Structure 1
């Protein structure tokens, strides 16, 4: 349990009076539904990545395809169990599996669905090493527990959620990354930690603040920001005065320190233990908790200020294992983050096409990191470890000051959300907009796809534009523009265009085929594949018409910028099939080398490009 200073009682807190000890959601109905959801997703995504090869099976009368166009399939496992389900296979080999139809037999007898048993049965096909099986199963178990918690506690109607504010939507999401099966690992969180800090819990959090000795700490600020203005705007004179009084009371000079926001879990489990020597030397000094209440975002270690929404997001180091990474922050790596964000924001703001669309980036304005510990002293011998990524933070612009009175913001991940009754949020938006579904989808593509493509073709600039990294701005229920975030860690610049010295880190040297994967993999396969399935499944816009609309968006951009398309063919018949679960299954502890991500990619042949049949004349 956390110490009382963090606002969570020790020994006599909520769990002490709870006979379920915080595990009331782990009951048969919720866990059974969570197993069904995850088994369905595993069958769908592992088949999409060609790890599994389901075989056609006879279906119920009147024939192999039912009224919804679903075909019956069977899958035998090396362990001898068999799975049977109905599914449609949409463009991009997207397996739209009906959860209600999934069944399992063992030795010919009906057996309950169990996602952990499924992975065990499929291990020889998944390429999951024995030494990492336990870690993957633990991440999967945590994902199962999180799904059960959401099923047990969350009943938000998608129709109401479609009109909710940014933070209500953020905490109401029931699915993490749409492709990863084990997408909610959080290894290190206990049940009370999840209740206090998980995004879906939506519990207000007050951050811990630590003073770090200036000579061992680096603060980097972007354009228009300096140390004084940063702390004044994000903490205010009252808190700054209290922090300074705390230092003076210990006989320390506040001028010798910088302030670092710390996740409460990180303070209790890492900083106050792993950095005991630094605290003993007064190189790190706890100065108290912040006044403002924050809410964890879907990315778990990033916080939004509930009390003053105009203040910046705060992204903290968090040493929990989640989706193939320990979620720390490297002081050395982040040193260039504000400069990278300034440069990217300048490129975007200076382009008339992007400016006309309203596309912009939420800048990471400042970063701070402490390096005076023993773990960093070993770095001189070439040692790299997670312990070097545990005391650091950054500040990112909030979208709220950028909104006009008639605008509201929503995470793009919400477009894939279904509520407990199966209603889709995007369906509610389309209904509320008064537009035909195709017209609504066109507006969305103009706000999201077109600027992402333009950045790549005009500026050799690629983002990681998945749902959690994009904030959609809506007027009414219609997307009008997109704001990109998480720029410092995930942006890439191709080619040899001149870059400022501090920005050189983001340059990568890949061939044109890999460059285009930033559209084909990250946008087409990583997001639009899932959104098209929702639109099709709800009867709003069939998959063929949806991909024709995508093609029309690309063609319209080509008509205005023909020179940009001469080198790159977005209508190529096929592209390489880059697979995300294969990455995690190969190494559950570190999926990719962040310094050379392309070298880590896992491919499974090629996919048919769904816009290729709609190639415009002359393209």
Structure 2
């Protein structure tokens, strides 16, 4: 009998599948009925009584690494699975077991009323259930060698058979399925056993939830940026106020409760938000909110439809992040680097419409959206060298790049393909292409180049890649130590068409070499553990037709380029964990915080943990600013944390070529690096900390620590002030710059990100002049200003005691 205590659920076109722990006493009744039938002969329990069945599963549960579960569909038991540690039984003698392996047996319910696709749906759900545990890397099976039905099912879902093995009770066909191979099997539409996402129904409850979350974000961010202004209608306890907001025509009202934290950060109670239209209660709807307030938001009418499409796509993405089977914050606490990457809910927390991806259809979303965690293969082409530009780091070469990124057999295959066309591989550069870009843009737009054999299609990569939060960058899941690959992707996402310019990429390796040498030669940066992930090589193709377009910023000149970036995987020590810094802002669908889980697991106090993080992240940014006037785009997606025992100890900075600047610097630079030197108003220089760090990241982290760890905003900003004071005390040589770019000023200019996107959602900023298009809304009170003297005194006392 079903208990209702589901530990996992999985949607399918046959209905929801729920997993419960198998209860030996309760479930022996139906299991006995199943195993007594001829179809279950390979289960080898045909002669068991009900009591023997119950005793078997009691014993099974008592042994280390074992478990058993029941899968329920439509209120009936549909299958049972047994799991075990294959490294602890006789199977370990027949294959090389590893941490993260789990063995599995499955028995389906009797097929009394055949349902098309039932076995595939059940098998898919079981593997989703097993791989939902981030500690599981491979599933191992050993069915009877005669069981052809289960062999076909295994192969269909990515199992690779390694040959028959003789076990005590049977000759088995050993099979192993990695997480990556399962993803690949599911990403092939011809194999997809469940209803495809393009046609799957959207539940009203889930839709209401993601709309409520996005409306809260609309309110919080538009009030923060002073785009909208709400009236305080009542003051409550604990600094909570009741706010009221009306549309310009007065027909729509919003009422909500919340606190206002430093930096005008609105901490809004999600369940308090109410909407009334013409005096009547109405459901929360992010699209309706945008339509109701777009004149006040400053959205040009000609841009409104595109912004609404971005809002719709952001809601659709949020649905995927909140679907059943998500990993909780507790589960993510020790998760794999790429499991964390796929689980993130907020890469860019300030932007309201941050998952537009205009150009993707629902099937593209399923295959290529980062939050699906799907593995994919890149397309490789050969681009004629006379039409293409290749550049590489001084520490590398084209030949060494190919040797590190491809198996010899793959390169030989490419060579033979070209030779079959009477072409020579030495006349071409190999270039990675996003599959969407190839199908939707290049095949048609570059048809002339393909006909001339200036571009030759070589096929898909043998390695599997996982899309990162930045959507056009890919991590190599097959060979994690191999480089990231970044490709052009002509979809509109968060204010930009995500192309890559061949001309712009040409100097990227030189810029990365320059920065790498600077970082490696600086004692303070090396001592802080600050490192960069270099973009070591870049390649781009110039079609003669599109290359004639006069504007270098034209998206048609950014259709075909790629670059290779170092992976951090081989650069960390044993026992260290990698994570996107966006994880610090992650709130799981149940409302729990990942940073809370990390702090709890570390055994440190919140303050001690925060101080370690600030030392790893903020201190090197301060040094780059004051020692070199060098600034980055240091948001959560661009920073990779290195953690030990759940505590940040250092960071990697990435996205170097496009997003670093030397501000108002007189430093002489090599010609290929000169573009990073930018002149901006002097008052904009400290905004690299005030806006990019304080307002766009710490503001959210402070709120999360307040809500989830009871760590007050005052305590948070006091820690930040102490970190800055400590750095300044250690580097008195920059004292004149501390006054010139005063991070303890009482106020700073309020630079607004959503105002950029609302003004022009297709070109928010100009990378060649990052200050030109900035949008300001007065000033913000500096949250560390009140602690400027207190922390200086505390630090002096601390130094005196140490001496």
- Tell me the TM-score normalised to structure 2 length: 0.74
Q: For residue 603 of structure 1, what is the aligned residue in structure 2?
A: 776
**C-alpha contact 2:187 2:376 (8 A) present in aligned 1:** no
Structure 1 CA distance for aligned equivalents of residues 189 and 355 of structure 2 = 29
- Decide which of 256, 265, 277 is 2:448's aligned counterpart: 277
Answering whether residue 200 of structure 2 is matched by residue 24 of structure 1, we say yes
- Decide which of 209, 216, 223 is 1:40's aligned counterpart: 216
Q: For residue 227 of structure 2, what is the aligned residue in structure 1?
A: 51
Q: For residue 225 of structure 1, what is the aligned residue in structure 2?
A: 396
Answering whether residue 412 of structure 2 is matched by residue 235 of structure 1, we say no
Shift of 1:382: 4.5
Correspondence list, 1:31-110, <5 A: 31-58=207-234, 64-66=235-237, 69-79=239-249, 80-110=251-281
Structure 1 CA distance for aligned equivalents of residues 505 and 603 of structure 2 = 44
- CA shift digits 1:243-263 (9 cap, x unpaired): 111111111111111100101
Answering whether residue 435 of structure 2 is matched by residue 258 of structure 1, we say no
Shift of 1:165: 1.1
- Decide which of 754, 758, 762 is 1:585's aligned counterpart: 758
Q: Which has the larger radius of gyration?
A: 2
- Decide which of 187, 198, 212 is 2:358's aligned counterpart: 187
Q: For residue 3 of structure 1, what is the aligned residue in structure 2?
A: none
- CA shift digits 1:338-383 (9 cap, x unpaired): 010111111111111111010010000000000134101x13x456
Q: For residue 117 of structure 1, what is the aligned residue in structure 2?
A: 288
Q: For residue 13 of structure 1, what is the aligned residue in structure 2?
A: 190
Shift of 1:26: 2.4
- CA shift digits 1:374-418 (9 cap, x unpaired): 101x13x45642111111000000000111002111000000001
CA RMSD of aligned residues (A): 1.8
Structure 1 CA distance for aligned equivalents of residues 744 and 696 of structure 2 = 18
- Decide which of 419, 423, 426 is 2:588's aligned counterpart: 419
Point out where structure 2 has 5 or more consecutive residues left out of the alignment.
1-183, 794-803
Q: Secondary structure at the match of 1:390?
A: coil
**C-alpha contact 1:162 1:429 (8 A) present in aligned 2:** yes
Answering whether residue 569 of structure 2 is matched by residue 400 of structure 1, we say yes
Structure 2 CA distance for aligned equivalents of residues 95 and 614 of structure 1 = 22
Q: For residue 575 of structure 1, what is the aligned residue in structure 2?
A: 748
- Decide which of 668, 680, 686 is 1:498's aligned counterpart: 668
Q: For residue 410 of structure 1, what is the aligned residue in structure 2?
A: 579
Identify which range, 561-570 or 549-558, moves more after superposition. Answer: 561-570
Shift of 1:153: 4.0
- Decide which of 309, 313, 329 is 2:480's aligned counterpart: 309
**C-alpha contact 1:206 1:293 (8 A) present in aligned 2:** yes
Structure 2 CA distance for aligned equivalents of residues 444 and 382 of structure 1 = 43
Structure 2 CA distance for aligned equivalents of residues 121 and 457 of structure 1 = 45
Q: For residue 294 of structure 1, what is the aligned residue in structure 2?
A: 465
Say if 1:266 and 1:431 are closer, same or farther in 2 by CA, change over 3 A.
same
Structure 2 CA distance for aligned equivalents of residues 549 and 331 of structure 1 = 44
Shift of 1:216: 0.8
- CA shift digits 1:28-87 (9 cap, x unpaired): 1111111101000000000000001111123xxxxx3245x4211111111420001111
Shift of 1:155: 2.2
Q: For residue 333 of structure 1, what is the aligned residue in structure 2?
A: 504
Shift of 1:475: 0.5
Correspondence list, 1:408-487, <5 A: 408-487=577-656
**C-alpha contact 1:466 1:526 (8 A) present in aligned 2:** yes
Identify which range, 445-454 or 341-350, moves more after superposition. Answer: 341-350
Say if 1:57 and 1:24 are closer, same or farther in 2 by CA, change over 3 A.
farther
Shift of 1:8: 9.3
Correspondence list, 1:551-570, <5 A: 551-567=721-737, 568-570=741-743
- Decide which of 142, 147, 151 is 2:313's aligned counterpart: 142
**C-alpha contact 1:461 1:491 (8 A) present in aligned 2:** yes
Shift of 1:480: 0.1
- CA shift digits 1:304-325 (9 cap, x unpaired): 0011110000001100000010
Say if 1:198 and 1:569 are closer, same or farther in 2 by CA, change over 3 A.
same
How many residues matched?
Answer: 605
Answering whether residue 712 of structure 2 is matched by residue 542 of structure 1, we say yes
Structure 2 CA distance for aligned equivalents of residues 102 and 410 of structure 1 = 33
- CA shift digits 1:229-248 (9 cap, x unpaired): 00111112111110111111
Structure 1 CA distance for aligned equivalents of residues 758 and 678 of structure 2 = 25
Point out where structure 1 has 5 or more consecutive residues left out of the alignment.
1-6, 59-63
Structure 1 CA distance for aligned equivalents of residues 613 and 652 of structure 2 = 13
Shift of 1:14: 6.2
Answering whether residue 355 of structure 2 is matched by residue 178 of structure 1, we say no
Higher relative contact order at CA 8 Å, sep ≥6: structure 1 or structure 2? 1
